Amino acid sequence: MTTPRLEIDLAGISHNTAALVSRLAVRGIGVTAVAKAVIGAPAVVRTMLDAGAHGIGDSRVATLEAIAGCSTRAPLTLIRSPAPSEVRRAVACAQVSLNTEPVVLALLSAAAIARRAVHDVVLMVELGDLREGLMPEDLIDVVRLVLALPGLGLAGIGGNLACRSGVVPDATNMAVLSALVGQVEAVTGAPLRIVSGGNSASLGWALGAHDTGRVNDLRLGEAILLGIDPLDRSPIAGLRTDAITLVAEVIESKVKPSRPWGQVAQSAFGVAQVTADRGPVAQSILAVGRQDTDPEGLVAPEGMAILAASSDHLVVATPEVLGIGAEVRFRPDYSALLRGMTSPFVATQVVHPM
Ligand SMILES: *Cc1c(COP(=O)(O)O)cnc(C)c1O
């Protein structure tokens, strides 16, 4: 089988989606499954929907177009503000988009009218992480703008934390979002359909002891795919952390000294750590590197240690000499997964189809 490859275990994706959907349902919160880390892989999207996600979100128009082409009937949400150059495509493939810019809203309005359709927008509010979002004091003016623009529907408001600055979703910043819902509804005169309370980093808050206010939706990617809480990268209890595996192949295995010799300057990627002399070690080279994944984001199998990585070679220390052609299985973190999925050199293989 071809290597390197990312194996995606659909049984694991299904388990994680269903577990999060049922835990959040108790709080009145639905799940928009975010497919960007797997670039909208159709089998994964289908599995997430079958397991109870009420819609799919992705940050890329091209990915949503591909998902829409797979004839899913679930609502598709563009979770990054559309660029002006892509609003027409955005309106064609997504029912909903997350927005912060009046200029873009006007363009979405024109694009929706041209299609004789209504495009729903969720206005994102800045809650302190300093990535996307309207400053709270500017929200109502933009709500009025959306109401005035033909072809647009105001679906709701949302927030996003812990992405740029690592700001933790907590009772204080999430209460700000819920309080704004009331202010918006006072203007619209109708309940908002969507109050989107953030990404996987909001799970601790959403499943914690306190009230979740008006939030009725979370946009979840990493927690479903990797079973990990992005705030501290710890496993989420009851979720599978083994749904995705990076498989690489051994191309050299030798017993070599642990310490390099000769005069040492920079290596291919900067200053290399000079290794201590531990005597001879069994070392293998795997045919995978920085062109395929983020080596710093790989967890090696028990007993094996990653020693170094360059563009195309991953050097590992192994308890015994590995056979040439042997496959080694790594657990990727979010960064390693993302890089793997977007590398033209890495195959994707779905296992345990549901
Ligand atoms: C990527 C992203 C998400 C999903 O984040 P995870 O940490 O993978 O759950 C949600 N919302 C927005 C705006 C995003 O960009």
Which atom of ligand 1 is nearest to 200's Cα?
A: 9
Distance in Å, CA 109 to ligand 1 centroid: 25
Which atom of ligand 1 is nearest to 218's Cα?
A: 10
Question: What is residue 126's predicted lDDT score, i.e. its pLDDT?
Answer: 98
**160 and 124 Cβ atoms separated by less than 8 Å:** yes
- Whether residue 273 is predicted with pLDDT greater than 90 in this model: the reply is no
Q: What is the dihedral of CA 314, 320, 326, 329, to 10 degrees?
A: -60
What length is written for the chain? 354
Nearby residues of 299 by Cβ (< 8 Å), 6 or more positions away: 330, 331, 332, 333
The partner residues of 123 in beta bridges, in order of sequence, read 99, 157
**260 and 20 Cβ atoms separated by less than 8 Å:** no
Residue to substitute in 58, 81, 163 for testing ligand 1 pocket (most ligand atoms within 8 angstroms of CB): 163
Distance in Å, CA 47 to ligand 1 centroid: 18
Which atom of ligand 1 is nearest to 201's Cα?
A: 7
Average pLDDT over residues 292-311: 97
Distance in Å, CA 217 to ligand 1 centroid: 12
Question: What is residue 272's predicted lDDT score, i.e. its pLDDT?
Answer: 78
Which atom of ligand 1 is nearest to 34's Cα?
A: 4
Q: Whose CA is nearest to atom 12 of ligand 1?
A: 79
Q: Whose CA is nearest to atom 11 of ligand 1?
A: 199
The percentage of the chain sitting over the pLDDT mark of 90, rounded to a whole number, equals 93
**Exposure string for 296-316, b = 16+ CB within 10 A, e = fewer:** ebbebeeebebbbbbebbbbb
Cα 160 to Cα 218: distance, rounded to the nearest angstrom: 10
Distance in Å, CA 254 to ligand 1 centroid: 43
- Sequence letter at residue 118: V
More confident residue, 266 or 104: 104
Distance in Å, CA 122 to ligand 1 centroid: 15
Q: Which residues are near ligand 1 (CB < 6 Å)?
A: 34, 36, 59, 79, 160, 199-200, 219-223, 230
**Exposure string for 322-341, b = 16+ CB within 10 A, e = fewer:** beeeeebebbbbbebbbbbb
Q: Whose CA is nearest to atom 13 of ligand 1?
A: 79
- Whether residue 87 is predicted with pLDDT greater than 90 in this model: the reply is yes
Question: What is residue 205's predicted lDDT score, i.e. its pLDDT?
Answer: 98
**280 and 255 Cβ atoms separated by less than 8 Å:** yes
Distance in Å, CA 200 to ligand 1 centroid: 7
Question: What is residue 73's predicted lDDT score, i.e. its pLDDT?
Answer: 85
Cα 25 to Cα 340: distance, rounded to the nearest angstrom: 32
Which atom of ligand 1 is nearest to 220's Cα?
A: 9
Distance in Å, CA 199 to ligand 1 centroid: 5
Q: What is the DSSP letter of 38?
A: G
Nearby residues of 54 by Cβ (< 8 Å), 6 or more positions away: 30, 31, 32, 74, 75, 217
Most trustworthy range by pLDDT among 67-71, 273-277, 332-336? 332-336
Which atom of ligand 1 is nearest to 37's Cα?
A: 8
- At residue 243 the predicted structure's pLDDT band, cuts being 50, 70 and 90, is very high
Q: What is the DSSP letter of 166?
A: -
Average pLDDT over residues 277-289: 96
Average pLDDT over residues 92-109: 98
Return the SS3 of 9: strand
Distance in Å, CA 56 to ligand 1 centroid: 11
Q: Whose CA is nearest to atom 10 of ligand 1?
A: 199
Q: How many other CB atoms are there within 10 angstroms of residue 246's CB atom? A: 26
- Whether residue 6 is predicted with pLDDT greater than 80 in this model: the reply is yes
- At residue 38 the predicted structure's pLDDT band, cuts being 50, 70 and 90, is very high
- Whether residue 23 is predicted with pLDDT greater than 90 in this model: the reply is yes
- Whether residue 110 is predicted with pLDDT greater than 90 in this model: the reply is yes
- Whether residue 130 is predicted with pLDDT greater than 80 in this model: the reply is yes
Which atom of ligand 1 is nearest to 225's Cα?
A: 8
Q: What is the DSSP letter of 241?
A: S
Q: How far apart are the first and last CA of the chain?
A: 21
- At residue 311 the predicted structure's pLDDT band, cuts being 50, 70 and 90, is very high
Cα 98 to Cα 281: distance, rounded to the nearest angstrom: 53
- Whether residue 288 is predicted with pLDDT greater than 90 in this model: the reply is yes
Distance in Å, CA 167 to ligand 1 centroid: 14
Cα 147 to Cα 149: distance, rounded to the nearest angstrom: 6
